[in-house]
Amino acid sequence: MRGTLLWCLGIGVLVLGASGARAEGWADRVSLSGSLQSDIRFITDDWRGERPGQGHEFEMNRNDVNLRLTAEPVDNLRAVVDTRLRFFGFNRSAQLPELIGWNRIDPYDFQLTEAYLHVRGFPWSGMDIKVGRMIQSWGTADMFNPTDNLNARDFSDPLDYTAKVPNNMLEVDLFPADWLTLQFVFVPTFKPSALPPSSVLGFAMTYNDRGEVTDFPAPPLDPEGQQKLLGLKDKLGSSSEGSDNPLAGVHFTTPEVRVVRPGSGIASSQAAARARFHVGPVDFSLSYYYGRFTFPVAYTAVADVVSPAFVPPPTRFVTDEEALDPNRFNVRYVAEVYYPRMQVAGIDFSYSSENSWVPGFFAEAGVFFPEKVQFGLEAFLDGSNILQHRNVNVPATPFLKATAGLDWSYGDWIYLNLQYVRGFFDEFNDRFGLHNYFVFAAESKFLDGELQLRLAGALNCDDLSAVVYPQLTWVVVPGVELVGGYMHFAGSTEPKDSLDYASKSRFGQKAAGRNVAFFKGKVTF
């Protein structure tokens, strides 16, 4: 009995002693880092908004607080929590009661960017496990990665093209040899990409200076469907006698775009596998992905027309803006978008030479095996169906998205990155097709890196629209940056054929974004 007690006490001392030792080292095992950032942007155009003349106003007045906590309670186990608190900086109160609290006057949101455990060498030394909410980045190319499909993109801030939507995942990494890494990832639930604020303009009406609707967004129709729609458009237009606007006699309510959400069953889960090889100066990998495309694809559209005879007379009080016009044909447009399934077989490689005059090369390609998407269009007149059409929007034919490029630097003076890209982020071989792009970035540093001038841009080789993005960064002191820049879209805002879905300009269309000047300040700690 006494021996047992002493033995237990001894164990207890050991345990407590060990705990005490760990507690003393906790400060070394936990690190907190983060940043504070302010971002203000001003729209410099007034022709890329929903209506002519909208613009020349502040688009963003935002403050972010990012905090990242990394804890390593024991060797080979690391926990990471990365959060963001965002204050939007614009008053959103629309009614008097909303002025009572801060929520609408100074709206904010909180995001958990990452929260995961990373276990190294478990259950055996050549295996790591990572589980939790995280962000994956696959592919060797810069920014345009056809093989990087596990996380959806976060384009809610169009200037931050690296952001992604975090998701819960299970990742298993195997290291059977120095030259080989195997990776397996399972994502239980689907999350779509966050779209830029301008994306709603892809479904918006076109207005003239008088505020009249002059056109509606073209659905992805084949020529036969376009003719049917033209017929409907002409019939509606015949009510606009005496006006130069063929749709003056029609009242359009605000279009509604609904999202057909994938289910939460295992069939909507995603999975991917990758094998990475390191062979001398070349790194290459083979990958496979099963899941869904994270950008929405047009799926259905319904035009519901209400004739004046069926509109009730207006009341004597203030009515909702969307009230039906008793003197005109009223058209309500409801569209649906869908996230098609896909499989992607990918390959990528990168090569870099010791010779400073030889640029580094990289290439990445993904063969997409898409779900076929049929687009359906219907029109109703006073509840009676007057138009039905269906055509293929996304064929089942596999297609290729690829990036190939090189980068080169000379001292601290200049860094160049040139890429050919086939298939933009949101292109899925639908009726808009896959386009070819030339993407460039040039960076130069001055004053020992205190000033950094960067010029980036992309050119659509098919329609010659472009986006240009110059930026100047001043590193005031290490960890403190001030950044100023401008993003400009060049291209026609009007499609060549208002009925042809494919004729809209990649960067010219309003949905691509607004021309903005921006100024940011960031403190990293």
Question: From residue 40, how far is each of 342, 478, 502, 512 by CA, in Å?
Answer: 38, 22, 34, 19
Q: Under the criterion CB under 8 A, does residue 354 sit at the interface with another protein?
A: yes
Is 325 an interacting residue with respect to another protein (CB under 8 A)?
A: no
Please tell me whether residue 387 adopts helix, strand or coil conformation.
strand
Q: Which stretch binds another protein (CB under 8 A): 189-197, 204-212, 322-330, 425-433?
A: 322-330
Residue partners of 487: CB distance under 8 A and separation at least 6:
158, 159, 467, 468, 469, 513, 515, 516, 518
Residues 137-156 that bind another protein (CB under 8 A): 137, 140
Q: Is 370 in the site for another protein (CB under 8 A)?
A: yes
507 binds another protein (CB under 8 A): no
Residue 95 vs 384, nearer CB to another protein: 384
Residues 187-226 that bind another protein (CB under 8 A): none
* Part in contact with another protein (CB under 8 A); list of ranges 51-59, 83-91, 101-109, 229-237: 229-237
Q: How far apart are CA 170 and CA 189, in angstroms?
A: 12
User: Does residue 109 belong to the site contacting another protein (CB under 8 A)?
Assistant: no
Determine if 509 is a binding residue for another protein (CB under 8 A).
no
User: What DSSP state is assigned to residue 429?
Assistant: S
Question: How far is residue 133's CA from residue 168's CA, in Å, rounded to a whole number?
Answer: 4
Q: Is the peptide bond before 123 cis (omega within 30 degrees of 0)?
A: yes
Do β-strands 329-338 and 250-252 pair in parallel, antiparallel, or remain unpaired?
parallel
DSSP per-residue codes, 123-186: SSTTEEEEEEEE-----SSSS--TT--SSEEB-SSTT-TT-EE-EEEEEEEEEEETTEEEEEEE
3-state secondary structure of 414: strand
Contact 94, 107 (CB under 8 A): no
Show the site string, 426-455: x = touches another protein by CB under 8 A, - = not: -------------------x-xxxx-----
Select the span of 3-11, 353-361, 428-436, 485-493 touching another protein (CB under 8 A): 353-361
Question: Which of the residues 471 through 500 are near another protein (CB under 8 A)?
Answer: 475, 477-481
Q: With binding defined as CB under 8 A, does residue 398 bind another protein?
A: yes
238 makes contact with another protein (CB under 8 A): yes
Shortest CB 202 distance to another protein, Å? 17
Out of 22, 235, 261, 496, which residue is the one contacting another protein (CB under 8 A)? 235
Question: Contacts with another protein in 20-79 (CB under 8 A)?
Answer: 33, 70, 72, 78
Binding another protein by CB under 8 A: which of 369, 420, 438, 440?
369
| Helix, coil or strand: residue 249 | coil
Listed in sequence order, the residues at least 6 apart from 19 whose beta carbon sits closer than 8 Å to its beta carbon are none
Pairing type for strands 206-207 and 180-187 reads unpaired
Q: Is 356 in the site for another protein (CB under 8 A)?
A: yes
Per-residue binding string, another protein, 281-320, x by CB under 8 A, is x-x---------------xx-x-x-xxxxxxx--------
Number of residues counted as binding another protein (CB under 8 A): 110
Among the residue ranges 194-202, 401-409, 503-511, 513-521, the one whose residues contact another protein (CB under 8 A): 401-409
Residue 118 near another protein by CB under 8 A: yes
Alpha carbon distances (Å) from 428 to 195, 385, 396, 516: 16, 31, 11, 28
Out of 38, 409, 444, 503, the only residue in the binding site for another protein (CB under 8 A) is 409
Measured from the CB atom, the residue of 45 and 304 that comes closer to another protein is 304
In the complex with another protein, which residue's Cβ is closer, 7 or 184? 184
* In contact, 211 and 517? CB cutoff 8 Å: no
